[in-house]
Amino acid sequence: MFENSRVFGSRILSCVLVLAFAISIVSAQDETLADIKYKDDYDRIQSIIKTSDLVKRLDKMATLYGERRDMDVKLRDYADKVFALDMETLTKQANYIAVRGLCERVLKTRPKFGEVYLYYGIALKNSKKVDEAMIAFARGSAIPNALSAKSKQQLDLAYRSVHGGSLVGEDKFIKEAVKDLK
């Protein structure tokens, strides 16, 4: 009987060891897949950055946002900074049609990308769509981002122009503008 319990104990021990080995292999594979995905996304961003045509570069970045919604946070932040700088350059070039189209594409996949709302609002404002621009500026000011103060300034200017120089009701307007964001 003692020999049976010894055999049983050794079998349990070997099963536990095999299970531990299998778990370590699976976790190593998960880490490897995450590393591969990170490297793939990083390489893709770097190849996009090398594109010399500004509109094509922004278009590729918009495509990347749509295809890689689960991108690593650090890489997404890096891509966001590149995208925002390129949008600023495109806005300074007064290519408002391209700015508007690119912003609409990106905001469909990333509705809480606050920086984009500033450029979208500027493009709308220059297309004489002040009411839509105010909504974009309101969203850009309400979503925490590096350009929220500029969005708020633009909103103040546009709101005053529509409401006779007054900012009364602007807070309510901002709440209405952001309530339908996903």
pLDDT in tens, 35-77: 888 999 999 999 999 999 999 999 999 999 999 998 999 999 9
- Tokens 């190849």: give the residue: 47
User: What is the chain's alpha carbon radius of gyration, rounded to the nearest angstrom?
Assistant: 26
| pLDDT interval class at 180 (50, 70, 90) | confident
In angstroms, the CA 54 to CA 81 distance is 15
pLDDT tens column, 85-94: 999 999 999 9
Alpha helices in the chain (DSSP H): 2-49, 54-67, 73-92, 96-109, 114-126, 130-142, 148-162, 170-178
Lowest mean pLDDT among 16-20, 76-80, 108-112: 16-20
Of 48 and 8, the one with more pLDDT:
48
Q: What is the mean pLDDT of residues 94-98?
A: 95
